[in-house]
Chains A and B, each alone.
Chain A
Amino acid sequence: MDRVRQALFLPEDLARVGADGSGVRVAILDSGVDSDHPDLAHAVNRSECRNFCFGSGTEDLAGHGTHVAGIIAGSGVACDGKYRGIAPGTELIVLKVLSGPNGTGHTDQVAAAILHAIDLDVDIINYSASHSGWHSAGGPPPWTWSSHLTVRDEAFQKASDAGILCVVAAGNDGPNDGSINPPGHLAEVLTCGALTETGDQLYRYSSRGPLYIDSSLRANQVRRTDVVFETPCESPMKPDLVAPGGTTLPSIAALHRILQPSILGGPVSTRSRRAESFRGVDPWDPDCLYGKMAGTSQATAVVSGVAALLLQLARDKGIDWEDRTQGEVLRRLLEESAKQMKPRAYEPEEVGRGRLTWPNVTTNLQDFIESPVARKRILDGPQLRLQEAAEPETGHPESR
């Protein structure tokens, strides 16, 4: 995690000065979380965790949700801080929507969990999962999607309308163009692509734009794109931004440590054991608390962690956004804080606005507070839906 922190230009002493995401509630819609892990026990709000899959409990058989949770809010207590998360003070609400050793789930489960998260009044939803077009389209990207919205998509729109920042993964179907996975195609969510762990290169398998949508397709139909005759969508442009989460190798060899899932000491399928072994984790080793995993899932968790820090910082500065607009403003601030990468410049279809860095986040927040012009610039994004941005500037957000 040190290299990720460096890539974000995140100061080492941030947590020591109290900037740790305290007071921010993040719902993790994933494969569950090992809430007994020493690095996570402090963060998980057990009374509000819930399983939307078959069975009960929010144990993590895939290891994925635990890893994502660790990136956001791991305390690092069992490793002397080496794998401390981005915002260890964040409160985590685990909503299990993916099950089995591979972490799969249906859109209705995800929709039910999102509606529950709205009822719980969370600040951020982290969704490090997606629907790949490989199977349905019968081949690799680019893919053209139906304009029909699933219940999962409509639920994300409702969450956004309720003021929740929804951070989702772009998918790992790169390097082909047109490989963004739903729900990353929605204008209302913050879609994250992945950089290598050092943050200087685009992760090879990070899904990328442009988006191809065909309103004449049947509901839930997807097909391979005919790039000669089809015109991509101008809006929304996806991904929105990129953050560290991948690896320079064409494998899953080297980034974040998996916080060991709760399969330790319990029954586990051969397939699951084999998968964990491939990732460099021995699930039978009781001392093994960390492992490796990479992809846009991890980049999404990094962005959720930064978003939690941003929201805490904003609240510390006395900003109290209206509930309905909070998520939209956070999304715009984060998008605006992503900048084109140097020395290598990537196309917007590959990296969106560019790489997210913490100094840009703090600068934009300060500008947002102090400068009406900057505030208008930040709010006046291409996907803006806030009515007040069209009105004359009347002062700081605190005055609203």
Chain B
Amino acid sequence: MSTTTANPASKLDFGLERLVGEGSLDESSQIPIVIRVVDESAVDAALQLVRELPGKVRHVLMPLRAVSAWVELGSIRALTEPDFVSLVELAQTDMVARA
């Protein structure tokens, strides 16, 4: 499995790209993210990647080919480098639908 890719920035979703780029948060801020990988066999590699950062795994979503984790903002670009990572996205926030 190759470990580099041509354009890591394109693997960040809109929210993360903005967070990483604008510099309004400290580099050590913990960010909830979802790492999408190219196939199920790459989920273990993604878990390893998170642990090495170090980050904290939240959920392993095997059928969705994804792993969610808390990672430091400063580590996010490193997550986009491996070829087996297809997208890194900010975990969106849902809220109760009460008026």
Contact = CB atoms under 8 A, between A and B. Distances in A.
10 contacts: A98-B95, A108-B32, A130-B95, A151-B36, A151-B61, A151-B66, A169-B97, A170-B97, A295-B97, A295-B98
Nearest to B88: A219
A326 interface: no
A357 interface: no
Interface string A132-154: 10001000000000101011101
A110 interface: yes
A131 B89 CA distance: 15
B14 A146 contact: yes
B93 interface: yes
Interface of A: 30-31, 52, 62, 64, 97-98, 102-112, 115, 128-132, 136, 146, 148, 150-152, 154-155, 158, 169-172, 181-182, 205, 217-221, 246, 251-252, 293-298, 300
A108 B68 contact: yes
A272 to B, nearest CB: 13
B6 interface: no
Interface string B48-83: 000000000011010110101000000000000000
Contact of B97 (A109, A217, A219, A300): A300
Given A112-B59, A151-B68, A106 B92 contact: yes
A323 to B, nearest CB: 17
Nearest to B87: A219
Nearest to A110: B94
A303 to B, nearest CB: 13
Given A131-B93, A295-B97, 11 more contacts: A30-B96, A52-B59, A104-B96, A105-B95, A108-B34, A152-B92, A155-B61, A169-B97, A172-B97, A205-B99, A220-B90
B48 to A, nearest CB: 18
B99 A150 contact: no
B91 interface: yes
B27 interface: no
A130 B14 contact: no
A293 B59 CA distance: 32
B64 to A, nearest CB: 5
Contacts, number: 133
A64 B99 CA distance: 11
B98 A131 contact: no
Q: Which 8 A-B pairs have the closest CB atoms?
A: A108-B68, A169-B97, A103-B96, A221-B14, A106-B91, A219-B13, A218-B14, A295-B99
Interface of B: 13-15, 17, 32, 34, 36, 58-59, 61, 63-64, 66, 68, 87, 89-99
Contact of B63 (A64, A115, A246, A251): A115
A150 to B, nearest CB: 6
A22 to B, nearest CB: 28
Nearest to A293: B98
A62 B32 CA distance: 22
A328 B93 CA distance: 27
Nearest to A130: B97
Given A109-B58, A151-B66, A131 B94 contact: yes
A154 B97 contact: no
A129 B96 contact: yes
B94 A152 contact: yes
A62 B64 contact: no
A129 B66 contact: no
Given A172-B99, A218-B14, A252-B99, A129 B68 contact: no
Contact of B34 (A103, A151, A170, A181): A151
Contact of A98 (B15, B68, B94): B94
Contact of B15 (A111, A170, A220): A220
B64 A297 contact: no
